[in-house]
A = this chain, B = another copy of it.
């Protein structure tokens, strides 16, 4: 098992070293070997290297500095455009303007994105996923000029790590696994599985800085609020509808 898998960290600061075209191509070759539904390959990747394009994308990713700082930004898209064009050109009648096909291609695009990331990390590169891609989806569609039946679902920034941060905590493995059927969590299970996370000094400082009662309140009241989640639910549904996946 390569160390890059066991010891992985998200990298948010990159050196100025550029990424060689041949390396990037090798990583895509590997990523596109990943499992996919019916070997239809219902995905595309938009490569952003141009500084002007990064400047346009940056506010849509809430001005996270990685977007302008990384040598390469990749936007992985669920893409039925190519497949539908192929079907039409062969006089076959595609029935892919629906939610199930969107979910299938979203999953397949995500599998490709993650395979790319694992391969990149094994080559010494660092990555950071930007979840903002499913928030500001319509605007990203405009800037990347995505046609009907193409929706961005995963954005990563990519570059050589300038700083290797500490590895962050995870919940105990046992807390995420269920044997045969789902064993629902009792109140004491919850206390037990979240105890280490809540006790970490970095998380306790985080609660203090944000003047909240508990770490859970930092998530519900600041980081992932009901109001934002509902707003972004609407914008994302609008985007997939506008791109032709919900009739």
Q: Which of A58-66, A144-152, A158-166 contacts B (4 or more CB under 8 A)?
A: A144-152
Q: Is the CB of A81 within 8 A of B185?
A: yes
A45 to B176 CA separation, bound complex (whole angstroms): 6
A215 to B216 CA separation, bound complex (whole angstroms): 52
- Selected contact of A122 from candidates B1, B26, B45, B90, CB within 8 Å: B1
- Selected contact of A233 from candidates B48, B99, B221, CB within 8 Å: B99
Q: Is the CB of A50 within 8 A of B180?
A: yes
Q: Is the CB of A180 within 8 A of B49?
A: yes
Q: Which of A150-187 contact B (CB under 8 A)?
A: 150, 153-154, 167-171, 173, 175-182, 184-185, 187
What residues of B have a CB within 8 angstroms of the CB of A1 in the complex?
A: 26, 30, 119, 122-123
A104 to B150 CA separation, bound complex (whole angstroms): 18
- Selected contact of A110 from candidates B111, B193, B232, CB within 8 Å: B111
Q: Is the CB of B34 within 8 A of A8?
A: yes
Q: A41-B171, A89-B190 in contact; A114/B220 too (CB < 8 A)?
A: no
Q: A100-B236, A170-B41, A182-B144 in contact; A35/B81 too (CB < 8 A)?
A: no
- Determine if A69 is an interface residue (Cβ-Cβ < 8 Å): no
What residues of B have a CB within 8 angstroms of the CB of A20 in the complex?
A: none
A131 to B134 CA separation, bound complex (whole angstroms): 22
Q: Is the CB of B8 within 8 A of A233?
A: no
What residues of B have a CB within 8 angstroms of the CB of A210 in the complex?
A: none
What residues of B have a CB within 8 angstroms of the CB of A232 in the complex?
A: 100
Q: Is the CB of A185 within 8 A of B2?
A: no
Q: Is the CB of B95 within 8 A of A227?
A: yes
A77 to B138 CA separation, bound complex (whole angstroms): 27
- Selected contact of A86 from candidates B10, B96, B216, CB within 8 Å: B216
Q: Is the CB of B176 within 8 A of A44?
A: yes
What residues of B have a CB within 8 angstroms of the CB of A106 in the complex?
A: 103, 106-107
What residues of B have a CB within 8 angstroms of the CB of A98 in the complex?
A: 226, 229-230, 233
Q: Is the CB of B47 within 8 A of A33?
A: no
| A 26-70 binary contact with B (CB < 8 Å = 1; else 0) | 101110111101111101111111100100000000000000000
Minimum Cβ distance to chain B for residue A180 (Å): 5
